[in-house]
């Protein structure tokens, strides 16, 4: 894609090409990053329960926190890969960068677990009289 300000890249913008890139990145993350895969699977199960119970607000909340944690995981994986690419040997500054990225994911996971737990408990209470 052409970057207008820098004047670099290929001319033309095609939304399908952008979508293909997004799907390719998500596919790679799901296939090669277990932390993304299990969160996606667990969220799909809880989403299915919320959808079946027709609890739309719960469904949307679960969808939002799942997207939040998956974005955090994918960005963390990208930061780690970039750091490993730039510096292959142990470097204390790279370690700090990776630790900060991991802390961001940790916060996202904590929020995801709390929301999923509360929503699953609520949905199961609705399903079981």
Q: pTM to 2 decimals?
A: 0.74
| Cβ neighbours of residue 76 closer than 8 Å, sequence gap 6 or more | 101, 102, 104, 105
Handedness of CA 113, 100, 64, 16 (dihedral sign): negative
- pLDDT tens-digit series, residues 52-110: 888 788 889 989 999 999 999 999 999 999 999 999 899 999 999 999 999 999 999 99
3-state secondary structure of 113: helix
CATH class, range 34-127: mainly alpha
Put residue 33 in one of left, alpha, beta given phi > 0 → left and psi -120 to 50 → alpha: beta
Q: How deeply is 51 buried, as exposed, middle or buried, from its count of CB atoms within 10 A (0-12, 13-18, 19+)?
A: middle
C-alpha torsion sign, points 33, 39, 42, 43:
negative
Confidence (pLDDT) at 22 = 76
Q: DSSP class of residue 49?
A: H
């Amino acid at each position: 894609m052409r970057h207008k300000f820098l004047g670099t890249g290929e001319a033309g913008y095609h939304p399908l090409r952008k979508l293909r890139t997004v799907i390719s990145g998500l596919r790679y993350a799901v296939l090669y990053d277990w932390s993304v895969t299990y969160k996606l699977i667990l969220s799909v199960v809880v989403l299915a329960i919320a959808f079946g119970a027709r609890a739309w607000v719960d469904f949307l909340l679960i969808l939002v926190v799942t997207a939040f944690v998956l974005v955090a995981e994918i960005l963390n994986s990208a930061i780690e890969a970039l750091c490993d690419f730039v510096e292959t040997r142990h470097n204390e500054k790279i370690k700090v960068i990776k630790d900060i990225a991991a802390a961001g994911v940790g916060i996202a996971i904590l929020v995801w677990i709390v929301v999923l737990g509360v929503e699953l408990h609520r949905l199961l209470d609705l399903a079981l009289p």
